[in-house]
Amino acid sequence: MATVIFFHSVYGLRSLEHEAVERVQAAGHKAFAPDLYDGLIARSIEEGFEFKDEIGWPTICERAEWALAGLPASTVLAGFSMGAGVASSLWPKREKTAGVLLLHGLATIADNARKNLPLQLHLADPDPFEPAEEVAAWRQAADRSGISAEVFTYPGGGHLYTDTSLPDYDAKAADLTWKRVIDFLDAIDAKG
């Protein structure tokens, strides 16, 4: 079974992350979603950015690192939107990670990324936070790095299209995303 840690979006730890953990656990994997905001939950994206700025990026990333303490070195790093950036901040320190899962956000590819490291990226198309030219540049960087990146885009939904609590939600895109995520984790588990 794969172990995966989901880092939440700028909204804080909400139903999106809890449902992700439940879905992954129901598929036979271990999953965790730490609270990097210490209980704060934003009612709007603007409030979420205020929380992020008040707490500070270094503190958010430090909390994420603490959350990983005691988990296997192979733990899959996963993040929703802002959480993709959190996963990216930890990636260089987690050379034995079994994979990286980016949902609704791009993340810097670690300089020390292993060749053929499995990575999945899931984005809305278009995504107001991830312009097409940035996605194209990211794809080129992924190709140069030698990681094994799969990039999936989903037309029709908003930025956080897997979040049932937001107007961004798109059921068809969300279902396909979760099928692909479970397949990704199953493949990692099969590699052992």
Is residue 157's pLDDT more than 90? no
φ and ψ of 123, to 5 deg:
-135, 150
Mean pLDDT calculated for residue range 140-148: 94
Mean predicted lDDT score pLDDT of the chain = 96
| pLDDT tens per residue, range 3-46 | 999 999 999 999 999 999 999 999 999 999 999 999 999 999 99
Residues contacting 191, CB < 8 A, separation 6+: 98
Q: How far is CA 2 from each of CA 36, 69, 76, 136, 163, rounded to the nearest angstrom?
A: 22, 17, 7, 30, 23
Domains and CATH numbers, the chain: 3-191 (3.40.50.1820)
3 token code pair: 């172990």
Residues contacting 72, CB < 8 A, separation 6+: 3
Mean pLDDT calculated for residue range 95-105: 96
How is the chain split among helix, strand and coil, in percent rounded to 5? Answer: 45, 20, 40
| pLDDT tens per residue, range 163-185 | 999 999 999 999 999 999 999 99
Is residue 192's pLDDT more than 80? no
pLDDT score of 37: 98
pLDDT score of 62: 98
Q: Are 81 and 10 in contact (CB under 8 A)?
A: yes
Task: Say how many C-beta atoms besides its own lie within 10 A of residue 132's C-beta.
Answer: 12
Q: Which of 138, 73, 128 is nearest to 104 (CA)?
A: 128
